[in-house]
Chains A and B, each alone.
Chain A
């Protein structure tokens, strides 16, 4: 059999190889955990990129579904005795279903109104999690969430969690790439540019919007479940509006309509946030959430100068240059 070594395929092989090799090279548990976190945020950003970058639908409350997945996993496994693996699957499926149902009224709106509604969704979610103390543990959080265990194998060390999260992340990336490079992906991009034109060719825009929103919610639900099982503790503040804004920043840095860019965006923001918190804030003698100021500024600059994000914007410039060279 002849194997096709396109540059893209080689890049994918190198990337997957680097992910597999990382725990052998990096011995520091804290750094391994940071990479795990990047994996989780990549899953979240990929979903957001499908909704915002491909389908062109504003979604400023993506952390809602991250939280939903985390709380569903926590409730099912810590309170109801559901096996941890089943709770994780349920987190993905239920988040997607809830995303679909919530999408029905939300996607009657467009543009700024849609953005406001998704933002509101996030606010409502956090309020419920804070106030339903009996079920969620309230503001002080939900403790003693069991780790994932499959057939007696318990994912309890940093390296095991790293492997688990990145296996899930790669699966989500592959799934999203399949969607993007298909009839569905073309329909989503068509809706983004002109809903009227897409519908004139038989694309049921509303149905595609609902389904892509549900898919993004499903990815986020799995990420939330994995997060809960990794940390064993969740609280509402991990899923509030600021997290949603961080996710939008990740997607924007990666290029809103770029699946691979999601990894880059997630890595940049996670590492930058860490750097700002640990080094910059300390160095300047400041306390508080300095990173939010930096991200807000970063987001504004990207939106003004490279509205399609760093990767997509750069790629587009290159493609335009190549097309012009051909003429």
Chain B
């Protein structure tokens, strides 16, 4: 088994005349926490959508677990073990918390229209298995007490945890989290940091998109920085903090000239 779980080679996507992602390559190793950072509009979420198959690629190749996945439908890529969450939550509003997570367990079941419709033997046992597994995932994120509540009745931060539990229920090899800390309070962010570390300890690789650099400094092993659809730097968090291109991307190259008193204040 190769050490590399995801390899993107020169992937490119434009919307109309706007080049959202201009030939970016990424290599992500097993069991690392990799952060994709960059200012708003840098192309991070587009990268996510391209890798997970939500958008078709204009150019480039994506290999997951050694197999090509570019051009494959997203449900197919999900079945291979690449599972993502969404920046603006995509909770299933008409369902309870538990049912939401049980949709995440979809791939662990096989019952279809015939077997479920006629309650063939095995369907009830499978249903119980999916339910137990979903409860386990809710336990992992500390939400099992809200299992039977309607998902949209939960506060935003808890909905985000439900979405992560739902993604975990799909048994990811690579979990892609799109700005999981956006909109969270500081205590909620700490819970999230802890959760991400535990997910990795369970052998899952994590790819994280974040535009707030400070949030990922503590937990990421490696990171890549995007700006205007291109990768401008890659390395450890410490290396990135010292990289002048990265500082420029975040603060503007003329930072000291524009704000001459900033250092003394």
Contact = CB atoms under 8 A, between A and B. Distances in A.
A182 B123 contact: yes
B78 A201 contact: yes
Contacts of A326: 149
Interface string A176-190: 101100111111011
A193 B103 CA distance: 12
Contact of A183 (B106, B119, B153, B170): B106
Contact of A182 (B52, B78, B84, B111): B111
Contacts of A323: 149-150, 153
Contact of B117 (A178, A257, A320, A324): A178
A112 interface: no
B164 interface: no
B109 A183 contact: yes
B172 to A, nearest CB: 10
A176 B116 CA distance: 9
Contact of B92 (A182, A190, A202, A324): A190
A277 interface: no
A179 B116 contact: yes
A241 B142 CA distance: 51
Contacts of B153: 320, 323-324
A202 B106 contact: yes
B90 A194 contact: yes
A131 to B, nearest CB: 35
Interface stretch (B93-101, B193-201, B230-238): B93-101
A27 B170 CA distance: 57
A183 B123 CA distance: 9
A325 to B, nearest CB: 11
Nearest to B74: A199
B75 A199 contact: yes
A289 interface: no
A204 interface: yes
Contacts of B117: 175-176, 178-179, 184, 215
Interface string B76-99: 001100011010001111110001
Given A175-B118, A201-B106, A202-B75, A215 B113 contact: yes
Contact of A193 (B92, B116, B119, B166): B92
Contacts of A211: 112-113
B113 A183 contact: no
Nearest to B151: A193
Nearest to B85: A200
B100 to A, nearest CB: 8
Contact of B113 (A179, A189, A197, A198): A179
Interface centre among A183, A184, A323 (most CB of B within 10 A): A183
Interface in A65-88: none
Nearest to A214: B113
A212 B116 CA distance: 13
A198 B106 CA distance: 9
Contacts of A197: 86, 90, 92
Q: Could you say which of A182, A184, A187 has the most chain B C-beta atoms within 10 Å of its C-beta?
A: A182
A111 to B, nearest CB: 18
Contacts of A190: 92, 95, 103
A110 interface: no
Q: Which of B86, B103, B116 has the most CB of A within 10 A?
A: B103
A78 B141 CA distance: 63
A56 to B, nearest CB: 10
Interface in A269-327: 319-320, 323-324, 326
Given A189-B94, A189-B99, 7 more contacts: A178-B116, A190-B95, A193-B94, A194-B92, A197-B90, A201-B167, A202-B107
7 contacts: A183-B106, A186-B99, A187-B103, A190-B92, A198-B103, A199-B74, A200-B83
Interface of B: 52, 54, 73-75, 78-79, 83-84, 86, 90-95, 99, 102-104, 106-107, 109, 111-113, 116-119, 123, 126-127, 130, 149-150, 153, 166-167, 170
Closest 10 CB pairs of A and B: A197-B90, A182-B116, A202-B78, A202-B107, A199-B75, A193-B92, A199-B74, A194-B90, A323-B153, A183-B109
Interface of A: 175-176, 178-179, 182-187, 189-190, 192-194, 196-205, 211-212, 215, 257, 319-320, 323-324, 326
